[in-house]
Amino acid sequence: MTDSEKIDYLAGQLDAILVAISALFKTHPDLQELDKKLSANTELQATTSLGRAVTELYLQGQSKGHERIRSLFEAALIQKRGEV
């Protein structure tokens, strides 16, 4: 597999994971509690990553991933509010 094919493969895996996360967010019974846990785990992961030898690109990718997940969470909140 070429490097370009590996990147495409990983991008496909990431998109599949994001679809699953979105579905979980949209069906979770307590989004406020989930928000607290999501924030706490995000902080924990950031702290853990800083203790390891990681590249700047890794940290940028991690940050972008968290942004995408947060965006999905916000969309789930908006949808949930519209249902009430």
pLDDT for the residue 81: 87
pLDDT for the residue 29: 94
pTM summary value: 0.81
pLDDT band at 48 (very low <50, low <70, confident <90, very high): confident
Is it the case that residue 83 has pLDDT exceeding 80?
A: no
pLDDT for the residue 72: 95
| Gap between the Cα atoms of 34 and 69, Å rounded | 12
Is it the case that residue 82 has pLDDT exceeding 90?
A: no
